[in-house]
Structure 1
Amino acid sequence: MLNYNQQFLIDLAKMKMPFGKYKGYFLIDLPEQYLVWYRTKGFPKGKLGQQMQLIYELQLNGLEDIVRKIKQNYL
């Protein structure tokens, strides 16, 4: 049985961008400059914005491979 944090990371790894230039891209595969732009303009409200902000932080700290490995295992 998965705990909340594990399920959160799995959901993050499987989430795709629902609109815009990168519609259909996995959030973890969004270009860094796109996330930086959102960082300056403001992330969307709700869960999507929280996930994008986390992806931004992971990329900023070089930790995005954690989510990429999860993505490989669950897709």
Structure 2
Amino acid sequence: MSFQHEDLLALARTEMPFGKYSGKPLIRLPEEYLLWFQNKGFPPGKLGELMALALLIRSEGLEPLIEPLMSDQRR
């Protein structure tokens, strides 16, 4: 997976647009939820790419790297 700085910013600032976790920042989605999407198929486009990136970061325990990018986001 290849990503840019802009992808990390988008991950920190994009909220889930639908479902049980609607309005929650993607990086804060439960790992189990992201794993479910991985098995069923991430949504197409940028949302799916960011969800896959969120899963990668969460599974490696790297969420603290995203924290500084989450300016003015609910925590």
TM-score, normalised relative to structure 1: 0.84
* Matches of 1:8 and 1:54, distance apart in 2: 9
Q: Does 1:65 align with 2:64?
A: yes
Shift of residue 7, structure 1, vs aligned partner: 2.9
Q: Are the equivalent residues in 1 in contact too, given 2:7–2:50 (CA < 8 A)? A: no
TM-score, normalised relative to structure 2: 0.84
Larger helix proportion of the pair = 1
Q: Does 1:33 align with 2:63?
A: no
How many percent identity over aligned positions?
45
Q: Are the equivalent residues in 2 in contact too, given 1:28–1:68 (CA < 8 A)? A: no
SS at match of 1:18: coil
Unaligned runs of 5+ in 2: none
Aligned residue pairs total 70
SS at match of 1:56: helix
Q: Does 1:47 align with 2:60?
A: no
1:37 maps to a residue whose letter is W
SS at match of 2:66: helix
Consecutive aligned runs of 4 or more in structure 1 exceeding 4 Å deviation: none
Q: Which residue of 2 aligns with 1:10?
A: 9
Unaligned runs of 5+ in 1: none
Q: CA RMSD in A?
A: 1.5
